[in-house]
Amino acid sequence: MKALVKDRAAPGFSLREVPEPRVRDDEVLIRVRRAGVCGTDVHIHQWDAWASARCKPPFVVGHEFAGDVVEVGALVETVKVGDRVTAEGHIVDGMCLLCRTGNSHVCPHTKIIGVDRDGCFAELIAMPASNIWHLDASISYDVGGIHDPMGNAFHTALTAEIPGATVLVTGCGPIGIFAVGICRAAGASHVIASDVNDRRLELAQQMGAHEILHPGQVAEAVRRSTAGYGVDVVLEMSGVPSAIHQALDLVRVGGRVQMLGIPSKPIELDLASEVIFKGITIYGVVGRRMYDTWHQMTRFLRSGEFDPTPVITHRFPLEGFEDAMHVIRSGEAGKVIFEIT
């Protein structure tokens, strides 16, 4: 089959023929229709410090996808050939302290498809049946193929108290833009979205942001719209140090900061003034809660209250992978997807 492979410990990918995956008894084989391209794939393509420390080539890249089941292992009873599915890409052991206390999203033994084992930028992928998520008939392959990053946004927003809240979203990459729409659908009373990139701010506005602003304009807007208190909730979705300080500064006393964005190196905080004496709660987001986030996501999509399709701005065949990497790096894209089969 055709697959996009990280062949060597150096920049680049190669599109080539690889053997079809063999399914174990507890796995299913999926024909991939759509696959989302993520910043992580760009890091692996560039072979930056994170990628070279974490990944062991050769492997098939990609972790966001939807498709059709074409084969099931002998022990699989919950998935049938022909099912339309996506999957949780974090494969956990199911047996450790965290997994057995309902916290699989932070399982220390997590293996991520397209990072630690073969991924989905290929015609076929094998997945444990327990990771499969069935797609409602009403949910397209396009939307199925972006459940992973949408799930990050659902996890971040819905573990805060959003109904009625004033919310600041710092960083309008695909995940921040999804989060804006989710906050609106979940009943936030005022959503301010910030970014340095006007194209991305436009998408945030399309998803329902009440105000779209550059970082330098945010403090004044927050003061004005919250009678000087600060916002109830900040969703930090940039990972940029100045935005992280801004998040801590503009959340109200006793408020909540949801940290999704990943800084590329350690940053310095004044814990006493930025966190402790403000009495705030900081929540670190890892992936998606299994499977609370997935149920919430399906229900919001089914209700029609949240529609992520405007965020998908570019689509390519696998052959166009260099263009896909380029358009993501340019900052001109919302969500970029591959149309595979």
**Among 67, 174, 181, 334, which residue interacts with ligand NAD (rule: CB under 6 A)?**
174
In the shown chain, the binding pattern of residues 127 to 166 toward ligand NAD, with x for contact by CB under 6 A and - for none, equals -------------------------x--------------
90 noted as active-site residue: no
In 3D, which of 190, 310, 339 has the Cα closest to residue 250? 190
300, 108 Cβ separation under 8 angstroms: no
Minimum Å gap between C-beta 237 and ligand NAD is 5
Query: Among residues 96 and 282, whose Cβ is nearest to Zn ion?
Result: 96
Cβ-proximal residues to 122 (8 Å cutoff; 6+ apart), any chain: 1, 2, 3, 4, 18, 32, 60, 62, 340
The only residue of 215, 310, 317, 320 in contact with ligand NAD, by rule CB under 6 A: 215
E-only strand ranges, the chain: 2-6, 14-17, 27-37, 59-60, 64-72, 84-87, 90-91, 111-112, 124-128, 132-134, 166-170, 190-194, 211-213, 231-236, 251-259, 281-284, 312-316, 335-339
**Residue 208 binding ligand NAD, by CB under 6 A:** no
Q: Which residue, 99 or 162, is less far from Zn ion as judged by CB?
A: 99
Contact partner at residue 99 from Zn ion, ligand NAD, none, CB < 5 to 8 Å by partner kind: Zn ion
Q: If binding means CB under 6 A, how many residues of this protein chain bind ligand NAD?
A: 27
What residues from 21 to 40 belong to the interface with ligand NAD (CB under 6 A)? Answer: 39
Q: Interaction with ligand NAD in 261-290: which residues (CB under 6 A)?
A: 261-262, 285-287
43 is catalytic: yes
Residue 308: both structure tokens together? 């992520």
By CB under 5 A, what part of segment 73-102 binds Zn ion?
A: 92-93, 96, 99
Burial label for 300, CB within 10 Å (0-12, 13-18, 19+), is buried
Which spans of this chain sit near ligand NAD (rule: CB under 6 A)? 39, 152, 170-176, 194-197, 200, 215, 237-240, 242-243, 260-262, 285-287
Residues that are catalytic: 40, 43
